[in-house]
Structures are given as structure tokens and as C-alpha cells.
Amino acid sequence: MEQSLAGKMKTLHLIPNTLGSRTPGLHLSTGALEALRSCSRFIVESDNAARRLLKDALPDLNPNVRPTFLLNEHSDAQDLVDLLAWFRQSEDIGVITDAGAPGVADPGAQAVRMAHNAGWSVRPHVGPSSILLALMASGLNGQSFAFKGYFPREKSKRERMFREIKDGLQRRKETAIFMEPPYRNDNAFSDVLQMMPGDTTLCLAVDLTLPTEWIRSMTISDWAKAPQPALHKRPCLFLLGH
């Protein structure tokens, strides 16, 4: 009975995007692909990334005929008020991030809160998450970990973040995960080598799910002796632990 009632509820579908791959059928679940086809409107982080996914996943349909609502770091309070009107309509909504899982390091979480407040069903679909894929492949502690997001650019704030990471490693043995815009990867790599103890393990997870995927875990001391990895302008996650 509960499943029958849930099936009649208006639903917000959380649809992962690929991590750069143009073959979504290899990375998204059947349910995610079905949601892409069934939803008539989408909340998106950017139009280009969302419509590229729709075009790749559903080549028989025109991706430009479905309404989209931009929800990203530039959205303000008025945008959120405008978005509320979407939850007063009856058609299901899909949420598409630029890459990976909606609501995880992504502003889509605001739409999810709206859906819950409106009494909608929220359905997460299976697809790639760079954070989990990197953690799986790192060999570091997957029982306790913290995603730090993007590192701040200001030097004093970056130094404070490294102190927090060191504290987490010492007190909780947790794995710290962070990322940078790809053009700042080389600077981040240098900062890690300078700021972290030599016995700390650093995992670099680059171009996840792409043909050029490259993942390597070594101690800071070993990284300092190795050739400089090719990180510039490549999607990369940094993981620190023991």
C-alpha cells in the first residue's frame, strides 16, 4: 500500500551526470536513464552540461525543448523563491549537476530540501560520484572520512585547512578529501608536499572513469622523490590519510 501511494506522489529525481564521459549508458543506472526520459523539466547546475547529458543519453529526443531552471553558486534568494513555483506544479522534476551526484558538493541540495518541504518523493539514482570512486581506489580509511570541498585561495585560510586535516588524521584517523579547479592542481600538489608530514599518504585520482584515468597512492616523501605528475587542467581529487 505504501509503495502504491508513493508511486502516485510527485517525485524529484536526482540524476547523476557523467564525469566527462560521453557514453552515459556505461555509467548511469537504468533508473537514471529512465528518469531522464520521463522528466519534462530539470533543475540544472548549468544548461550546457545538462543538455549534453540529455543529448548523449537520449539521441532520439531534442534536448532543447525541456524547460530548465538554473541552480548554482550564483543563485540568490529571489531565484529560490522563483523555484518554489516549480514545486506547485504536478510534473516530476529531474536534478542534473555538472558532474557526479546531485546534492553532493553541489547546490542541488537546496532543491531537495524544497521537495521534502513540499511533501514530494525524492528519488536518488545510481551514477558516478568522484568522491566515492576516489576513496574506493585510494587504499585509505573508508570508515571515517571528510570531504573538504575546494580549498580556499587565501594563504592563511589554506594553512588553517591543512592544520584541520592534520588534526583529523591524528585524532580520528580520518581520510581528508579535497579538490581544486584543474588549473590550480599543480599549486595544490606543491602545497600538500610542503604542508603535510612525510609519512602521510597522498592519493591522486585523476580523470576518473575516462580512458586517461590515473590513480596513485604514495607517501609524501615518495611523491617528493618522484617525477612531477601531470595534473594541470585535469579533474583531480586529492586524498590524505594513513
Query: Which tens digits make up the pLDDT trace of 152-177?
Result: 889 999 999 999 999 999 999 999 99
Question: What is the pLDDT, as a whole number, of residue 140?
Answer: 98
Instruction: Decide if 189 contacts 231 (C-beta within 8 A).
Output: yes
- In a 10 Å sphere around its CB, with 0-12 CB exposed, 13-18 middle and 19+ buried, how is residue 104 labelled? middle
Residue of 177, 191, 193, 179 whose CA lies nearest to 241: 177
Spatial separation of the C-alpha atoms in residues 13 and 211, rounded to whole Å = 29
Cα 183 to Cα 124, 157, 228, 230, distances in angstroms:
31, 19, 15, 11
Q: In sequence order, which residues have a C-beta less than 8 Å from that of residue 125 and are 6 or more positions away?
A: 13, 14, 15, 16, 28, 29, 31, 32, 35
- For the chain, the straight-line distance linking the first and the last C-alpha, in angstroms and rounded, comes to 48
Spatial separation of the C-alpha atoms in residues 33 and 38, rounded to whole Å = 9
- Give φ, ψ of 42 to 5 degrees: -140, 140
Compare 18 and 153 and report the one with higher pLDDT. 18
Confidence of residue 26 (pLDDT cuts 50, 70, 90): very high
Q: Is the pLDDT reported for residue 4 higher than 50? A: no
Question: What is the pLDDT, as a whole number, of residue 1?
Answer: 36
Spatial separation of the C-alpha atoms in residues 180 and 30, rounded to whole Å = 31
Q: Which DSSP symbol is given to 61?
A: S
Q: Is the pLDDT reported for residue 5 higher than 50? A: no
Alpha-carbon Rg for the chain, nearest whole angstrom, is: 20
Confidence of residue 9 (pLDDT cuts 50, 70, 90): confident
pTM given for the model? 0.91
Question: What is the pLDDT, as a whole number, of residue 137?
Answer: 98
Question: What is the pLDDT, as a whole number, of residue 224?
Answer: 97
Confidence of residue 32 (pLDDT cuts 50, 70, 90): very high
Q: Is the pLDDT reported for residue 212 higher than 80? A: yes
Mean pLDDT along residues 99-123? 95
Q: Is the pLDDT reported for residue 145 higher than 80? A: yes
Mean pLDDT along residues 215-231? 97
Question: What is the pLDDT, as a whole number, of residue 3?
Answer: 41
Confidence of residue 8 (pLDDT cuts 50, 70, 90): low
Average pLDDT over the chain, rounded to whole? Answer: 94
At 40-99, the pLDDT tens digits run 999 999 999 999 999 999 999 998 899 999 999 999 999 999 999 999 999 999 999 999
